[in-house]
Amino acid sequence: MSLLNYTLRIADSSLISGQRLAEWCSNAHTLEEDIALSNIALDLFGQANILLEYASDLDGKKTADDFAFKRNEREFFNLKLTEQPNGHFGDTIVKLFLFSSFNFLFYNKLSQSKNENLSAFAFKSLKEVKYHLKHSKSWIVRLGDGTKESNKKVQESLNSMWEFTGEFFEMDEIDIELNKKGIGVNNKSLKEDWNNIINTTILESKLKRPEDGYMQTGSKNGLHTEHLGHLLSEMQYLQRAYPNAKW
């Protein structure tokens, strides 16, 4: 049960993140960026798919699609950061950068998991996440050190997303249990390396690191911001409206 829950947390963050990024399709500032964001969204859907298939094996009854399309808000465990609306390009890129910088470190450790499914998944995903990190970081630098307007905008994005980064490093009972078994990652231990990535990027971008203030929490228990419900009602519409249909 703990393993299923742990798997869903990772899967859901990828799925919800992909769902948000895919909203950019046909809306980016250049065709090249439109393609890049779709690529990243596709990677994330691919990751979610692998893990939801694994969740389906663990569960024995539900399919991967059941997990994606037939759970309610309180049964989703994605990081709250990932469900935040896209906002402008700066908001999206800050979200992607924060998420990818954490995931890069997280997958790096998870690739050493004793659970072969998770380690193989993490090993495969690490390559993708490296690119996501590189891409989003290069935009943070360009926006931060671009024009006055872009610096101001991306600084505001960083300030407003900051409160969602506390969740990255939380450890609840499930995390502790699986970490002890050599299956899960000790999230707390990632903090120092994460700080390094963030601080180096922020320096290069001529931005300021926000102060740690109130930090959001709750996603490990299925507690979310109000945005998730709307995202799910859109994503799950067909499966909900036609429960007997196969697609």
Partner 1 sequence: MNEIKFQEKIDSERKIEPKDWMPEDYRKHLIRQISQHAHSEIIGMQPEGNWISRAPSLRAKMILLAKVQDEAGHGLYLYSACETLGVSRQELIQQLHDGKAKYSSIFNYPTLSWADMGAIGWLVDGAAIVNQVSLQRTSYGPYSRGMIKICKEESFHQRQGYEIMAEMASGTPEQKEMAQDALNRFWWPSIMMFGPQDGDSPRTGNAMKWKIKRQTNDELRQSFIDKTVHQAEIIGLTIPDPDLKWNEERGHYDFGKMDWDEFWDVVNGKGPCNKQRLDHHKKAHIDGKWVRDAAKAYSEKQKDLVIN
- In angstroms, give the least distance from the CB of 3 to partner 1: 21
C-beta closer to partner 1: residue 39 or 119: 39
C-beta closer to partner 1: residue 25 or 176: 25
Could you give the CA distance from residue 17 to residue 27 in angstroms, rounded to a whole number?
A: 17
The DSSP-derived string for 104-172 is HHHHHHHTT-SSHHHHHHHHHHHHHHHHHHHHHHHHHHHHHTS-HHHHHHHHHHHHHHGGGSGGGG---
The residue type found at 119 is S
For residue 243 the two structure tokens come to 């429960």
- In angstroms, give the least distance from the CB of 245 to partner 1: 5
C-beta closer to partner 1: residue 32 or 211: 32
Binding site for partner 1 (CB under 8 A): 19, 22-23, 25-35, 38-39, 41-42, 45-46, 48-49, 52, 64-65, 68-69, 88-90, 141-143, 145-147, 149-150, 153, 234-235, 237-239, 242, 244-247
Could you give the CA distance from residue 123 to residue 110 in angstroms, rounded to a whole number?
A: 8
Q: State CA 68 to chain mean position distance.
A: 15
- In angstroms, give the least distance from the CB of 24 to partner 1: 9
C-beta closer to partner 1: residue 93 or 183: 93
